[in-house]
C-alpha cells in the first residue's frame, strides 16, 4: 500500500490538520486501521487523535482517495467529531459469553 498526501491544511479554529490523500494498493482494500497506521507513520502523528472519513474507491481499480483529520488532542477530537466516526476506526470488542 502506497499513500500520497495531496493536500495538507491546518484548521486553527478546530485544532486540527485536514489531510487529503490518494492510495494505491494491491488485492483487497486495506482496513481503516491499516490506513490510519500508515498515515500516522508518514506524518508522525498519534493514531488516537486521527479520524478517517469514508474512503472512495473506483470500481475495477486499485486506487482510492480519502480525507483524515488529525487533532492536536483527544479532547479536541471528542468535542468536534461524531461518536460513530470515532468508533469506526477502533477494533471491535469481543462478545461476552
Task: Show the domains of the chain with their CATH numbers.
Answer: 2-88 (3.30.70.330)
Report how far apart, in Å, the C-alpha atoms of 80 and of each of 2, 13, 65, 83, 89 are. 29, 11, 23, 9, 16
Q: pLDDT digits over 25-83, tens only?
A: 998 888 888 999 999 999 999 988 999 988 898 888 899 999 999 999 999 999 988 88
Measured distance CA(9)–CA(60) in Å, rounded: 30
Provide the whole-model pTM. 0.82
CA distance 35 to 23: 9
11 phi/psi in degrees, rounded to 5: -115, 100
Amino acid at each position: 500500500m502506497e499513500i500520497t498526501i495531496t493536500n495538507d491544511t491546518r484548521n486553527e479554529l478546530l485544532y486540527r490538520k485536514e489531510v487529503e490523500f490518494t492510495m494505491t494498493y494491491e488485492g483487497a482494500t486495506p482496513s481503516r486501521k491499516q490506513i490510519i497506521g500508515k498515515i500516522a507513520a508518514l506524518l508522525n502523528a498519534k493514531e488516537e487523535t486521527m479520524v478517517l472519513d469514508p474512503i472512495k474507491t473506483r470500481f475495477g481499480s486499485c486506487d482510492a482517495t480519502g480525507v483524515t483529520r488529525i487533532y492536536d488532542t483527544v479532547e479536541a477530537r471528542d468535542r468536534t467529531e461524531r461518536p460513530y466516526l470515532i468508533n469506526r476506526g477502533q477494533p471491535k470488542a469481543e462478545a461476552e459469553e
